């Protein structure tokens, strides 16, 4: 597994336009319908947002890990980090928005030097659900992150963390050597301060995404299996498991192409298209803010540099009413959100 | 044999209904019913299917149930044990015929 991002390796798939070009051609020229065609067949084109419920802010692409399938192409070599001044613009919006959920992501959001300040300030806005997507190993990465469980607890943050499998080899294969054991240690620390314990209000949810070119199965069954194994093997507790489909972009797209799984994967996604999932795709109630303050329909569109289709494209000119009157930008990667039970940052959507 | 067992042909499995709609659909209904969670879990059925896929040596089924196992979070060790179970059954079914050979041998020998 490479220790560098696609960008640092100057890989073609680091470029948004190359990814989009790839997703426009090949199987989508003759064999498979484009996402737009599919939506039109369902009378769902153009896709329009509903009320804004989730504001997702990406604090930067820097990460202590370089996971094989990262859709952000994050890693230690990524220097894109949100500045304090952009955070201030975000705070203004957080205070005014009607959204009930604030979702901080990255990279490893904790690596942003202003992360703690931002969490402290944002938590004052009284948003109902305040999520931090923590990759777990960050807690073990350096002593300055050791107190994160207490810090999260102090601000009643809802922790959502990735865990591809309950076995070491599968987890390490996807996320890097040693990640499984560090994640287990971090989970234990979170459990110790009360996170994820039965009936605890300190929410700890896990995200499962398949460690290869296949789709996730039934979320409830996976949750049952994860709980059984993590309790039996490590006495680790968590609340919910979100099963997320890998979208064919960035490092996962690169992997699909290199392993010659791309065509089959796209056929699987299209075959599993579920019209019921279209109703709830996350871009309909979410807005994604990038490290440099631009607005996107979702984190995936952010990585494909597809800014929202609105005159207002930056957090500095934020106007919720105007922004909500837009068409969502779609492309073939969207099939990842509508396959089977559907997929979003909060797991299944049907 | 070049155009036998091309991986992408599996995608066309559903098209068998085009040349016999009733029988094809009855088969697919039955097939999907069998694989629903029942007294056996979907996971258990997937492992049985993988073992049988090897016994009947169907490349499509091997691909399909390896992927199905991965989707269900079944480990490679569990998959390999399932394949051995099928293999042991095949070997057993073969070897048990040795009793016939022994019987015949004894009958024919003085
Ligand atoms: S921890 Fe998350 S952001 Fe970091 S490389 Fe892995 S998937 Fe990407
Ligand atoms: S990829 Fe983004 S824009 Fe496309 S359906 Fe999913 S959430 Fe919506």
Tens digit of pLDDT for each residue in A242-300? Answer: 999 999 999 999 999 999 999 999 999 999 999 999 999 999 999 999 999 999 999 99
Do A285 and A54 meet the contact criterion of CB atoms below 8 Å apart?
yes
Instruction: Residue A10: count other Cβ atoms within 10 Å of its Cβ.
Output: 9
Helix, strand, coil percentages for chain A (3-state, nearest 5): 40, 15, 45
The number of domains in chain A is 1
Q: Residue ranges of the domains in chain B?
A: 39-109
Question: Do B73 and A263 make contact, defined as CB atoms within 8 angstroms?
Answer: no
What's the average model confidence in pLDDT over B10-30? 95
Between the CA of residue A219 and those of A223, A244, A320, what are the distances in Å? 6, 9, 33
Is the domain B39-109 a CATH 1.20.1290.10 member? yes
Helices (H), A194-343: 219-234, 250-258, 262-271, 275-279, 299-303, 320-324, 335-338
In a domain, A345, yes or no: no
Q: Is the CB of A214 less than 8 angstroms away from the CB of B67?
A: yes
Distance CA A50, CA B85 (A): 52
Evaluate: CB of A74 within 6 angstroms of ligand 1: yes
Domain that holds residue A214: 8-337
Look up residue B13 and give its two tokens: 């499995």
Is A182 inside any structural domain? yes
The pLDDT value given to residue B8: 86
**Domain assignment present for A274:** yes
Residue A181 domain-assigned (yes or no) = yes
> What pLDDT does A170 receive?
87
The rounded Å distance from CA B56 to ligand 2 centre is 42
CA A83 centroid distance within chain: 21
Query: Within a domain: residue A350?
Result: no
Q: Ligand 1 pocket, A193 CB below 6 A? A: no
The predicted-structure confidence for A78-135, as pLDDT tens digits, reads as follows 999 999 999 999 999 999 998 999 999 999 999 999 999 999 999 999 899 999 999 9
Contacts of A46 (CB under 8 A, 6+ apart): A39, A327, A328
* pTM for this predicted structure: 0.92
CA B108 to chain centre: 38
Contact between residue A51 and residue A284 where contact means Cβ atoms under 8 Å apart = no
Instruction: Give A-chain residues touching B72 at CB under 8 angstroms.
Output: 217, 221
Q: pLDDT tens-digit profile of A137-171? A: 999 999 999 999 999 999 999 999 999 889 998 89
Q: What is the structure's pLDDT at B6?
A: 87
Q: Which ligand is nearest to the CA of A287?
A: 2
Asked if residue A234 has pLDDT above 90, the reply is yes
Q: How far apart are CA A67 and CA A69, in angstroms?
A: 6
| CA A257 remoteness from chain centre | 22
With CA atoms as reference, the chain B residue closest to A170 would be B75
How confident is the model at residue A174, as a pLDDT? 87
* Mean pLDDT across B2-30: 93
Name the helix (H) or strand (E) containing A206: strand A204-208
Nearest CA to CA, how far is A152 from chain B (Å)?
30
Is B75 part of the contact surface with chain A (CB cutoff 8 Å)? yes
DSSP state of A68: T
- Residue A162 within a domain: yes
**Ligand 1 centre distance from Cα of residue A65 (Å):** 6
**CATH code of the domain in which A320 resides:** 3.20.20
Examine residue A293 and state whether it is found in any structural domain, yes or no: yes
Q: Is B47 helix (H, G, I), strand (E, B) or coil?
A: helix
Predicted confidence at residue B1, as pLDDT, reads 61
Question: A248, A267 in Cβ contact below 8 A?
Answer: no
Does A180 fall in a domain?
yes
Q: What are phi and psi of A103, to 5 degrees?
A: -130, 110
Question: What is the average pLDDT score of chain A?
Answer: 96
Nearest chain B residue to A210 by CA distance is B71
Q: How far is the CA of A68 from the centre of ligand 2 (A)?
A: 21
A160 CB within 6 A, ligand 1: no
Q: Residue A168, exposed/middle/buried by CB under 10 A (0-12, 13-18, 19+)?
A: middle
Kind and range of the H or E element at B100? helix B98-108
| Percent residues over pLDDT 90 in chain A | 93
> Is the CB of residue A283 less than 8 Å from the CB of residue A297?
yes
ipTM: 0.80
Tens digit of each residue's pLDDT (9 = 90 or more) over A297-337: 999 999 999 999 999 999 999 999 999 999 999 999 999 99
Give the distance from residue A260's alpha carbon to the nearest chain B alpha carbon, in angstroms. Answer: 12
State yes or no: cis peptide before A46, omega within 30 of 0. Answer: yes
Provide the sign of the torsion angle of the four alpha carbons A141, A144, A149, A153, taken in this order: negative
Who among A217, A263, A267 is closest to B71 (CB)?
Answer: A217
Q: pLDDT tens for residues A1-50?
A: 788 999 999 999 999 999 999 999 999 998 999 999 999 999 999 999 99
Closest partner residue to A167 (CB to CB) among B70, B71, B75 is B75
Protein residues with CB under 6 Å of any ligand 2 atom: A 281-283, 297-298, 300-301, 328, 330, 333-334, 337
Is the Cβ of A165 closer than 8 Å to some Cβ of chain B? yes
Q: What is the C-alpha separation between A161 and A242, in angstroms, rounded?
A: 10
Mean pLDDT (chain B) is 95
Rounded CA separation A115/A121 (Å) = 10
Q: Are strands A241-243 and A286-289 parallel, antiparallel or unpaired?
A: unpaired
- Cβ–Cβ gap B73/A225 under 8 Å: yes
**Token pair listed for B62:** 């091997």
Classify the C-alpha dihedral A136-A141-A142-A143 as positive or negative.
Answer: positive
């Amino acid at each position: 597994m490479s220790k560098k991002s696609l960008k640092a390796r100057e890989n073609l798939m680091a470029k948004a336009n190359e990814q989009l070009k790839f997703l426009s051609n090949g199987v989508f020229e003759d064999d498979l319908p484009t996402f737009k065609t599919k939506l039109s067949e369902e009378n769902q084109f153009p896709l329009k947002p509903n009320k804004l419920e989730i504001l997702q802010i990406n604090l930067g692409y820097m990460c202590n890990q370089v996971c094989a399938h990262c859709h952000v192409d994050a890693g230690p070599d990524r220097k894109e980090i949100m500045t304090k001044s952009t955070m201030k613009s975000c705070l203004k919006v957080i205070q005014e928005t009607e959204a009930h959920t604030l979702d901080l992501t990255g990279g490893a959001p904790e690596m942003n030097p202003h992360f703690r300040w931002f969490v402290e300030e944002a938590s004052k806005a009284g948003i109902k659900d305040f999520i931090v997507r923590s990759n777990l190993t960050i807690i073990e990465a350096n002593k300055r992150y050791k107190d994160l469980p207490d810090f999260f607890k102090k601000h009643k943050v809802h922790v959502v963390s990735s865990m591809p499998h309950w076995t070491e080899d599968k987890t390490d294969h996807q996320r890097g050597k040693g990640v499984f054991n560090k994640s287990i240690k971090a989970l234990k620390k979170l459990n110790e301060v009360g996170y994820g314990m039965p009936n605890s209000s300190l929410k700890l949810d896990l995200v499962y995404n398949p460690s290869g070119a296949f789709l996730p199965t039934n979320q409830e069954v996976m949750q049952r299996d994860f709980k059984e194994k993590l309790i039996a093997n490590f006495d680790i507790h968590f609340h919910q498991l979100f099963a997320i489909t890998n979208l064919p972009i960035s490092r996962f797209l690169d992997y699909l192409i290199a392993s010659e799984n791309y065509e089959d994967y796209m056929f699987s996604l299209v075959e599993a298209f579920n019209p019921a999932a279209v109703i709830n795709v996350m871009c309909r109630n979410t807005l994604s803010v990038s490290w440099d303050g631009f607005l996107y329909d979702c984190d995936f569109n952010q990585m494909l540099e597809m800014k929202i289709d609105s005159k207002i494209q930056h957090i500095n000119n934020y106007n919720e009413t105007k922004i909500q009157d837009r068409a969502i930008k779609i492309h073939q990667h969207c099939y990842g959100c509508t396959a089977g039970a559907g997929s979003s940052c909060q797991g299944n959507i049907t | 044999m070049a155009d036998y067992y091309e991986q992408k042909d599996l995608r066309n499995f559903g098209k068998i209904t085009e040349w016999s709609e009733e029988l094809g659909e009855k088969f697919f209904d039955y097939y999907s019913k069998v694989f629903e969670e029942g007294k056996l879990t979907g996971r258990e059925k997937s492992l049985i299917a993988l073992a049988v896929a090897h016994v009947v040596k169907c490349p499509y089924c091997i691909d399909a149930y390896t992927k199905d196992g991965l989707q269900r979070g079944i480990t490679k060790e569990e998959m390999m044990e399932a394949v051995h179970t099928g293999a042991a059954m095949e070997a057993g079914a073969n070897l048990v015929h040795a009793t016939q050979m022994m019987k015949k041998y004894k009958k024919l020998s003085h």
